[in-house]
Amino acid sequence: MRKKYGTAGSFQLLNTDTHLLGSIKSAGKNRYELTVNGQGHATLIRMVGETHPLYMLRGSNWLVTGNMAANHFRAYHGFEAIFASDAIASGQTLRLWCAHADCAPASLLTVAVLDHIRTDSITQPLTPVAF
């Protein structure tokens, strides 16, 4: 995982050979464009909520919900769980569970941008999670 400097909320996911697996970048207020394997994959859109937001990952039909203060998020496709993340080790590390291996790049990028939004939106001083 690498944060792209110059634009807020932009991340790249690389494998060990520095091959780009996916990226996510800001596309306006409350919108993020997600690309996996060089293809336009989805758009993360904030629907409602501040401390317990509701996001839609349009293109993948994922519904992402969680708790910003606890840094705990879950994503669903219909009634099927796609991923779950929660903070461990006093909030300095995130644990990510993915239902399917092919959903892992999109899940990791989504959680990275949600952590970025969390650190920018909550008034308490928070430290970003190290990936």
Rounded to two decimals, the pTM is 0.85
How much is the average pLDDT of 104-131? 78
Report helix, strand or coil for 53.
coil
pLDDT at 15 over 80: yes
pLDDT at 82 over 90: yes
Q: Give residue-wise pLDDT tens across range 54-80.
A: 999 999 999 999 998 888 999 999 999
Report helix, strand or coil for 104.
helix
Burial class for 109, CB neighbours closer than 10 Å (0-12, 13-18, 19+): buried
Report helix, strand or coil for 102.
helix
